Chain A
């Protein structure tokens, strides 16, 4: 083997060694990555992966700016024949979708999208799926849990899931007002299903919140007076 060839071979080995170091340190970083950025573990569809890859580090910023656009468009929707123009509403949904792809922790976008799908477009199944995606990425979001509970209850009549979501919302509520709202929702879902005892139990929980004792007592009395069906 000539000296030049030996030197070239040595260089190749150094490069291979350094490549091994790169791969090893990447594997080390990978283990800690979800702690720093839990978007790394969020399941995205392929289209979202491509959009996110192209945007790189600018995706968070794009999400913020798109949210500004959503806010602006929402307040400038046109009224035709005494009603809001549906196409103006529809134009917002792709923006909301891209925002949640860019930043899966954009709770407001998930909440708005879920609400509009259910209430404006009458597509409760898609709304529930959108809420569930938001909850997967933001499991401690009160807005998403209570929004999902509402859709399961009033649109899909899936009482067990609605009650479970309302229960979770009460658990993550940031203050007593939100806890009251979640328990109120849960109690109405249970009462609607015919589970008077469960509803009364939730109202007793409401009664333990400072300032809500009288409201809770009134509802418990009302439920006890009408054991055959839920009060409307």
Chain B
């Protein structure tokens, strides 16, 4: 179970994220790009808002992803590298609480970083009558779920790796999650052995699939994302977060510091 110390750690991560310069800078640039796109006017009527939604969703996705990697990969590994971990662990706190606290704090900070960008998107969609605000909110929530999963992956890697290795492996895991579709398709087309095809399928189902959180097409084309989809994707994210946090806590418990 998550203890009160984990929440204290989470709050500390949140405060620390605000103090660092990187996070506000990312948020500022993200908001600036979205705002500048809102005033483009070289498209024909009706296309502008679609283009704006497309750009805004992609900017939220890219900046959110970078924020997640930068913020999460330096949390646990940073403490170990700067040796402040000894001070922290000398307090009455279990290692698993520390890992979970770091994760919860990072996820909350990511939500705060994404909120202004999502706010601008919602504002322009509402004022330009560019579709349903609710659908935009659903899509943003799903993107935040994707960042939460990525943060869990980063925490699991940070439990045994340095911050640079952690950042590199997290980005790699993210890229692999997109490439696995290509690998599965390639295996199905070229390899005759059934075993290889099954291995491709297993890879597809067991590795994180970040494409599940992408509802940009639906938002851009004013389609409705069913609540059932939002619910099932939330369950999927929960399962992934539980898996990676469990791995992270177990590895960190065993780690020689």
List the A side residues contacting B233 at CB < 8 Å: 29
Docked pose: A28 CA to B217 CA in angstroms: 20
The answer to the question of A56 belonging to the interface, with a C-beta cut-off of 8 Å to chain B, is yes
Smallest CB gap from B212: residue in A: A29
Identify B218's interface contact among A36, A56, A103, CB under 8 A.
A36
Identify A22's interface contact among B179, B210, B243, CB under 8 A.
B243
Annotate A47-59 by CB proximity to B: 1 below 8 A, 0 otherwise. 0011011101110
Smallest CB gap from A19: residue in B: B206
Identify A32's interface contact among B54, B226, B243, B250, CB under 8 A.
B226
**Contact between chains at B212 and A26 (CB < 8 Å):** yes
Q: Among residues 1 to 38 in chain A, which have CB atoms less than 8 Å away from a CB atom of chain B? A: 11, 14-15, 18-19, 21-29, 32-33, 35-38
**Contact between chains at B54 and A18 (CB < 8 Å):** no
The answer to the question of A105 belonging to the interface, with a C-beta cut-off of 8 Å to chain B, is yes
**Contact between chains at A54 and B216 (CB < 8 Å):** no
List the A side residues contacting B51 at CB < 8 Å: 64
B252 to chain A, nearest CB (A): 13
A65 to chain B, nearest CB (A): 9
The answer to the question of A39 belonging to the interface, with a C-beta cut-off of 8 Å to chain B, is yes
List the A side residues contacting B180 at CB < 8 Å: 53
List the A side residues contacting B218 at CB < 8 Å: 36-37
List the B side residues contacting A61 at CB < 8 Å: 54-55, 58
A163 to chain B, nearest CB (A): 30
Docked pose: A28 CA to B250 CA in angstroms: 28
List the B side residues contacting A22 at CB < 8 Å: 205-206, 208, 236, 239-240, 243
**Contact between chains at B235 and A36 (CB < 8 Å):** no
**Contact between chains at B178 and A53 (CB < 8 Å):** yes
**Contact between chains at A53 and B182 (CB < 8 Å):** yes
Docked pose: A44 CA to B184 CA in angstroms: 13
The answer to the question of A221 belonging to the interface, with a C-beta cut-off of 8 Å to chain B, is no
**Contact between chains at A49 and B239 (CB < 8 Å):** no
**Contact between chains at B217 and A26 (CB < 8 Å):** no
Docked pose: A35 CA to B223 CA in angstroms: 9
Whether A15 contacts B243 in the complex (CB less than 8 A), given A26-B209, A27-B205, A49-B185, comes out as yes
**Contact between chains at A105 and B239 (CB < 8 Å):** no
Q: Among residues 26 to 46 in chain B, which have CB atoms less than 8 Å away from a CB atom of chain A? A: none
**Contact between chains at B217 and A32 (CB < 8 Å):** no
The answer to the question of A80 belonging to the interface, with a C-beta cut-off of 8 Å to chain B, is no
A71 to chain B, nearest CB (A): 9
The answer to the question of A134 belonging to the interface, with a C-beta cut-off of 8 Å to chain B, is no
Docked pose: A54 CA to B186 CA in angstroms: 14
Identify A53's interface contact among B179, B208, B214, B226, CB under 8 A.
B179
Interface residues on A, range: 35 or more
Whether A56 contacts B178 in the complex (CB less than 8 A), given A22-B205, A61-B55, comes out as yes
Docked pose: A27 CA to B216 CA in angstroms: 21
List the A side residues contacting B215 at CB < 8 Å: 36-37
Q: Counting chain A CB atoms within 10 Å of each CB, which of B182, B189, B238 scores highest? A: B182
The answer to the question of B246 belonging to the interface, with a C-beta cut-off of 8 Å to chain A, is yes
**Contact between chains at B228 and A32 (CB < 8 Å):** yes
Whether A35 contacts B226 in the complex (CB less than 8 A), given A14-B246, A60-B58, A60-B216, comes out as yes
Identify B214's interface contact among A19, A37, A103, CB under 8 A.
A37
Smallest CB gap from A14: residue in B: B246
Additional A-B contact list (18), CB under 8 Å, known A22-B243, A29-B233, A32-B229:
A14-B246, A15-B247, A19-B243, A22-B208, A23-B205, A26-B205, A26-B236, A28-B232, A29-B209, A29-B232, A37-B218, A46-B182, A46-B186, A49-B185, A56-B210, A57-B210, A58-B61, A103-B217
Taking Cβ atoms with an 8 Å cutoff, the residues of B that contact A are 51, 54-55, 57-58, 61-62, 175, 178-182, 185-186, 189, 204-206, 208-212, 214-218, 220-221, 223, 225-226, 228-229, 232-233, 235-236, 238-240, 242-243, 246-247, 250
Taking Cβ atoms with an 8 Å cutoff, the residues of A that contact B are 11, 14-15, 18-19, 21-29, 32-33, 35-39, 44, 46, 49-50, 52-54, 56-58, 60-61, 64, 103, 105
Can you give 27 contacting A-B residue pairs, CB < 8 Å?
Answer: A15-B246, A18-B246, A21-B243, A22-B205, A23-B206, A25-B232, A25-B235, A26-B212, A26-B236, A28-B236, A29-B212, A32-B232, A33-B229, A36-B218, A36-B226, A46-B189, A49-B181, A49-B182, A53-B182, A56-B211, A57-B58, A57-B62, A57-B216, A58-B58, A60-B57, A60-B216, A103-B217
